[in-house]
Structure 1
Amino acid sequence: MKEVLVFVTDGFADWEAAYVCPELNKPGTNYRVKTVAIDKLPKTSMGGLQVLPDYEISDHSFHSEMAMLIIPGGTGWHEEKNQQARELVDYCLQHQIVVAAICDATTFLGRHGFLDERRHTGNTLEYLKQGAPEYRGEAHYIAAQAASDDYLITANGSGAVEFSKLILEKLGVLQGEELDQWYKIFKQGYLSI
């Protein structure tokens, strides 16, 4: 069984991966969701949920089981200590493991050059440039809720459903009509609008 790791920091935006994690953890998907952080100390989300990470980034034992790295946004990406996640993102992209980042996690990727040559989105282009002065990926920026490029999925902070849809599709958990129905339920509700 492969693992999908969710990177958690103090102040992580707990709702941004909330749509996709239950779908990935369902029986029969061949995936299980685990958490990773800079250390194994408990992390408290923006919503006050406390998470005890399964792995710390210095523990390389999880690398062989990793199918994807999901990076929620949140206030933690403004802290220098969390920039250590750069090494894990670099490892993933070098080994063709998908990295899915949303909201301020896209700004984190922009700071470290991961968006310079890949199609991506973020909160806005202006926000990305302001938060990541090192960012040089403007030519690849897409003004959309979510975007996908080979081994990178990005979304803005209001695109959690679109973000989840791209993740489910990329991992083959839901496809075609089943995926479209899932998306419509979470985006529009059971009643057609």
Structure 2
Amino acid sequence: MKKVLVFLTDGFADWEASYVTAELNKSRTGYEVQTVAIDKKPKVSMGGLRVLPDYSMEDVLPDFNMLIMPGGTTWRDEKNQKIQKIVKECFDQNISVAAICDATTFLGMHGFLDHHKHTGNSLPYLKEGAPDYCGDIHYITTPSVRDKGLVTANGTAALEFSKNILLELNVCDEKDIQDWYEHFKKGSVSC
């Protein structure tokens, strides 16, 4: 079984990864979703969900296929800057990374967006939150971008983010992923 990790911070935006985690956890996909955080203490989402992480940063092994980083209210907190270590390991080992909303700002703060096409909440928002960000030339104003193992999205694009993650992980053929997306985006029941 292949593994996808979701990085949890206190104040994580629980809805931003909910579509894709529910889809990935289906047995037919061959993926299993687990959680990781700075430590193993319960993390409380913006919606008040209390989640006990499966792993801390100290005990997670690099045997996973993707790290998903939901947005939230604490990505700029000093304590969460330690997360840079696991993200760097992902980039160094060609493990895909997916970030949405303020998690993209975190990536910008640490130079992870400088050489990939990407998006975020907006270019001015990204530059304000990540003063050392140097990826302007690669910024695309669109809900979600997928480029060379990196998936990014703005905070309004949980479905587009999920679609790009499913494509990145090659969960099923592109037509089935598009049908899945249309089902949730447009409310169709024909798929």
Question: What are structure 2's unaligned runs of at least 5 residues?
Answer: none
Question: Secondary structure of 1:174's match?
Answer: coil
Equivalent of residue 128 in structure 1, options 106, 126, 129: 126
Corresponding residue of 1:101? 99
Corresponding residue of 2:66? 68
Question: Secondary structure of 1:78's match?
Answer: coil
* Pairwise CA RMSD: 1.2
TM-score (norm 1): 0.96
Cα contact 2:115–2:135 (8 A) shared by 1: yes
Q: Superposition pairs for residues 1-193 of structure 1, below 5 Å?
A: 1-60=1-60, 62-64=61-63, 66-190=64-188
Q: State the alpha-carbon separation in 1 of the partners of residues 109 and 168 from structure 2.
A: 25
String of CA shifts for 1:57-91, please: whole Å, max 9, x gaps. Answer: 1114x312x01000000002021111111010100
String of CA shifts for 1:156-191, please: whole Å, max 9, x gaps. Answer: 000110000010111111322211110101111127
Identity percentage of aligned residues:
59
Cα contact 2:146–2:168 (8 A) shared by 1: no
Q: State the alpha-carbon separation in 2 of the partners of residues 150 and 97 from structure 1.
A: 10
Q: State the alpha-carbon separation in 1 of the partners of residues 45 and 76 from structure 2.
A: 14
Query: What letter matches 1:58 in structure 2?
Result: E
Question: What are structure 1's unaligned runs of at least 5 residues?
Answer: none
Which stretches of structure 1, 4 residues or longer, exceed 3 Å deviation after superposition? none
Question: Secondary structure of 2:121's match?
Answer: coil
Q: State the alpha-carbon separation in 1 of the partners of residues 6 and 175 from structure 2.
A: 27
Cα contact 2:12–2:72 (8 A) shared by 1: yes
String of CA shifts for 1:25-72, please: whole Å, max 9, x gaps. Answer: 001211100000000000000000000000001114x312x0100000
TM-score (norm 2): 0.97
